[in-house]
């Protein structure tokens, strides 16, 4: 089962930038603890050209991991918190490596 790369963009509600960046600092670590994220490089970063916009990249352990994560109560709690802090819906793109 091949890992799946995901790129996610978040736009914070005005005044929620610090809270959202705090959640994003621990998001991938928690997903990894729960077994959904591969042991591969990941990052979360702020876009300097768009204040309040953050980008995150990580690897799901496989194609079915995102569906399993959606059903996990701990993940649902984290994602609901993120959604509450965002001004727009979270945008994500899943990519398969060309190896």
Given this structure, which CATH class describes domain 4-9+18-95? alpha beta
**How many CB atoms neighbour CB 82 within 10 A?**
20
Helices (H), the chain: 17-33, 65-71, 73-85
Break the chain into its structural domains and give their ranges.
Answer: 4-9+18-95
Q: What's the predicted TM-score (pTM) here?
A: 0.89
Predicted confidence at residue 1, as pLDDT, reads: 62
Please state whether beta strands 53-60 and 43-46 pair in parallel, antiparallel, or not at all (unpaired): antiparallel
pLDDT in tens, the chain (99 residues): 688 999 999 999 999 999 999 999 999 999 999 999 999 999 999 999 999 999 999 999 988 898 999 999 999 999 999 999 999 899 999 887 776
């Amino acid at each position: 089962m091949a890992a799946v790369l995901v790129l996610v963009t978040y736009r914070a509600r005005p005044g929620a930038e610090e809270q959202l960046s705090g959640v994003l600092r621990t998001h991938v670590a928690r997903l990894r603890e729960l077994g959904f994220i591969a042991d591969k490089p990941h990052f979360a970063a702020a876009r300097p050209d768009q204040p309040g916009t953050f980008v995150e990249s990580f690897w799901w352990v496989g194609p079915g991991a995102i569906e399993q994560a959606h059903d996990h109560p701990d993940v649902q709690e984290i994602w609901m918190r993120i959604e509450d802090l965002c001004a727009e819906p979270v945008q994500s793109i899943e990519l398969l490596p060309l190896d």
